[in-house]
Amino acid sequence: MWSTSASRFNAFNNKENMRLGIISALQEEQLGLVEAMERRYKLIHGMREYTAGQLWEIDAVCVLSRIGKVAAAMTATTLVEKFGVTHILFTGVAGAGDKTVGVGDIVVAEALVQHDMDASPLFPRFEVPLTGRTHFQPDPSFSLRLSRAAHDFLELDFLDAVNETERRAFRLLQPRVHRGLVASGDQFMNDPARLEGLNAALPGLVAVEMEGAAVAQVCHELGIPCAVIRTISDNANENAAIDFMRFVKSVAAQYAFYVTRRLCRDLNTAPLVQVGPG
């Protein structure tokens, strides 16, 4: 039975061990993960429901941030400051940032930038004022493990995870894993001309979304390792909203479940070691 007792949550928290915070923007992006938790219970804080428990023997907290950079930053900060997570994983969907990236592909971020940040001429375009940074890097070891889990999923689990009807509907023939730059902004990207401009300004762009860079900045400032994985749901053009929720439920949620399961089992075998702020 679930409990909302803060004392029970605090008793469960052991900062000497890894505690994984898992954030998604939409409920559909976490389908199956909460149900897979053992000893799960919930706590409401800041108008969000945090579910804690054991996820494939990893101490974990799942939460929906809602959409946008402010919502994501608030959620990430709360996970660290109130719920004591030691690592954060953001999983969800994104638009393709380059023509070489297709629907059904997986992107693991190597760096993240806020594409709508522009305080020029006071600061260079994309630079977050007073940080001296345009790009925020996820933890390399964490991201490498996540990338390996994604590769193994596509090689070993994909045909079981996504049924043939959905594979045909979304033309999921041979999905691939990409590593590269992810751009975040408080805009649903469906303008090819704007995307072309971002490609020119941000070399190596592979995906566009609405939360990841904010989470990466919070984790950088708090010294928390993070990783961001995105399933490509659309080509960030005028057709981006067509069948979006169907894709999230029938494809992206399956990707997230299977990849997270592989990641947790890997982490349980060889845990990540947290280092201090860089």
C-alpha span between 147 and 154 (Å, rounded): 11
**DSSP letter string over 130-160?**
TTTBSEEPPPHHHHHHHHHHHHHIIIIIHHH
**Measured distance CA(41)–CA(125) in Å, rounded:** 43
Structure tokens at 8: 């029970």
Structure tokens at 230: 């995105």
Q: What is the residue type of 19?
A: R
Is 29 noted as a catalytic residue in this protein? yes
CB atoms within 10 A of CB 170: 20
> What's the rounded Cα separation, in Å, for the pair 215 and 16?
23
Q: Which residue of the set 59, 105, 234, 266 is catalytic?
A: 234
The DSSP bridge partners found for residue 58 are 55
Contact predicate 108/179, CB 8 Å = yes
Structure-token pair, residue 124: 């260079």
Q: Are the beta carbons of 102 and 232 closer than 8 angstroms?
A: yes
Catalytic residue among 28, 29, 98, 110: 29
Is-catalytic flag, 234? yes
Q: How far is CA 75 from the centre of its chain?
A: 12
Question: Which parts of 154-194 are beta strand (E)?
Answer: 177-184
Active site residues: 29, 234
